[in-house]
Amino acid sequence: MSPRRASCLVCGPGPVDEAILGGRLRQCLACGFAWTVGAADPTPDLYDDTYFGGGGYEDYFLPGPRRFEASRRLRWLRSTVRPQSLLEVGPAGGFFLEAARRCGIDVYGVEVSAAATRYARDRLNLPVQQGNFESATLPERVDAVCAFHVLEHVTDPWQFLCAARAALRPGGALVLEVPNIASAAARLLGEQWPGLQPEYHRWHFTPGSLAHLVTMAGFRVLRQDTTVFRYYMPLRYQLRHAHRLLPSDWSATRSLRLVHPRQGDLVRLVARATDGE
Ligand SMILES: [Zn+2]
């Protein structure tokens, strides 16, 4: 449980890390990046119907909220880059790909879950292949690789970012979103923070450690900020749950804003592959 000299995935060897949250995680004291102790390798079995259907993700295939979330993500992305082709890793039901296709973007998905792949292919008629992105054979290079809530699950984030670079055309864009363990709510709620999920999340990013990792992997960060969970909830849902959501956001951030430079629950960034510069 005491601090020790170890190796941080982001900083490399040398920095001190310490146990946090009852020893479930260890955190690098230099960059704030944390990792789950004894995390299991992600396998298709881990992301079966239980994950998408009953593990707190029961709304994964609810078209209303997912289409709202997808439209917000796409608008944010397109305010920074304008891809003609896009690959999403971990598209789940496929609602972001659906929104992107509706904007005239050529889309493709790689999804580890068989249940989610079936939904995206059969219900939304999307070109999604089931499998592991890092070892997938992809049809062609794309202008943007997107991964929302994926990097915290993967076996090796370096390997993932290397595969993302290989999938991109020179100068292509990487778009990521992950939970922010340095958020005001994470610090306030500790193990009760909904973004933690150590049973699924191996890696726990801060805005700084995510930007550093991406930069070291050969990308230049064009844009980065954070949002609170409420940002992705349709207004009628926010209003219905306002009595619960607003006080918790206020106590965590002292603000009712949906987007913050660093304090929100989710950190997102757009970065450009530097081989195009
Ligand atoms: Zn570190």
* Predicted confidence band of residue 275 (pLDDT cuts 50, 70, 90): confident
What CA–CA distances, in Å, run from 203 to 51, 133, 180? 18, 18, 10
Strand, helix or coil for residue 263: coil
Residues paired with 148 in a beta bridge: 177
Over residues 209-244, the pLDDT tens digits come to 999 999 999 999 999 999 988 888 877 776 777 777
Tell me the C-alpha to C-alpha distance, in Å, between residue 177 and each of 14, 15, 139, 206, 275: 28, 26, 24, 11, 22
Going from the Cα of 169 to the center of ligand 1, the distance in angstroms, rounded, reads 30
Q: What is the structure's pLDDT at 46?
A: 60
Share of residues in the chain with pLDDT > 90 (%): 60
Q: How far is the CA of 6 from the centre of ligand 1 (A)?
A: 10
Model confidence at 1, pLDDT cuts 50, 70, 90, reads: very low
**Ramachandran assignment for 123, one of left (phi > 0), alpha (psi -120 to 50 degrees), beta (any other):** alpha
143 and 20 in a single domain? The answer is no
Side-chain half-sphere of 28: how many Cα atoms within 13 Å?
Answer: 22
Cα(28)–Cα(91) distance, integer angstroms: 30
User: What is the C-alpha to C-alpha distance for residues 200 and 220, in angstroms, rounded to an integer?
Assistant: 28
Spacing, Cα 14 to ligand 1 middle (Å) = 9
If asked whether residues 33 and 44 sit together in one domain, one would say: no
8 Å CB contact between 27 and 33 = yes
- Judgement on whether residues 28 and 162 belong to the same structural domain of the protein: no
Same domain, 58 and 120: yes
> Exposure of 46 by Cβ count < 10 A (0-12 exposed, 13-18 middle, 19+ buried)?
middle
**Contact partners, residue 52, CB within 8 Å, separation at least 6:** 60, 61, 92, 113, 115, 116
Same domain, 89 and 162: yes
Residue 82 has a pLDDT of 97
Cα 91 to averaged position of ligand 1 atoms, centre (Å): 29
User: pLDDT tens across 75-92, in order?
Assistant: 999 999 999 999 999 999
SS3 call for 149: coil
Both 180 and 79 in one domain: the answer is: yes
125 plus 20 within the same structural domain: no
User: Whole-angstrom Cα distance, residue 143 to residue 106?
Assistant: 10
What's the rounded mean pLDDT across residues 242-251? 71
**208 three-class SS:** helix
**Number of CB atoms found within 10 A of residue 4's CB:** 10
CA 53 to chain centre: 19
Euclidean distance between the first and final Cα of the chain, in Å? 45
114 and 157 share a domain? yes
Say which amino acid occupies 79: S
**CA 31 – ligand 1 centroid, Å:** 4
pLDDT of residue 52: 56
User: Rounded to whole angstroms, how far apart are CA atoms 256 and 261?
Assistant: 14
Same domain, 112 and 215: yes
Number of folded domains that form the chain: 2
**What gap in Å lies between CA 274 and CA 221, rounded to an integer?**
10
Residues spanned by the domain of 241: 39-276
238 or 125, which is more confident?
125
The predicted pLDDT at position 166 comes to: 96
Q: Which amino acid, residue 163? A: A
Q: What mean pLDDT comes out for the span 260-273?
A: 94
pTM: 0.89
Summary mean pLDDT of the chain: 87
CA 7 to mean position of chain CA atoms: 23
C-alpha 186 to ligand 1 mean position (Å): 18
Q: How much distance in Å is there from the Cα of 245 to the middle of ligand 1? A: 32
- Listed residues: CB within 5 A of ion ligand 1: 8, 10-11, 28, 30-31, 33
pLDDT tens for residues 4-63? 666 889 988 776 888 898 889 999 999 999 999 988 766 656 665 555 554 444 466 677
In the chain, the percentage of residues whose pLDDT exceeds 70 is: 87
**Mean pLDDT value of segment 121-127:** 96
- Do residues 166 and 238 share a domain? yes
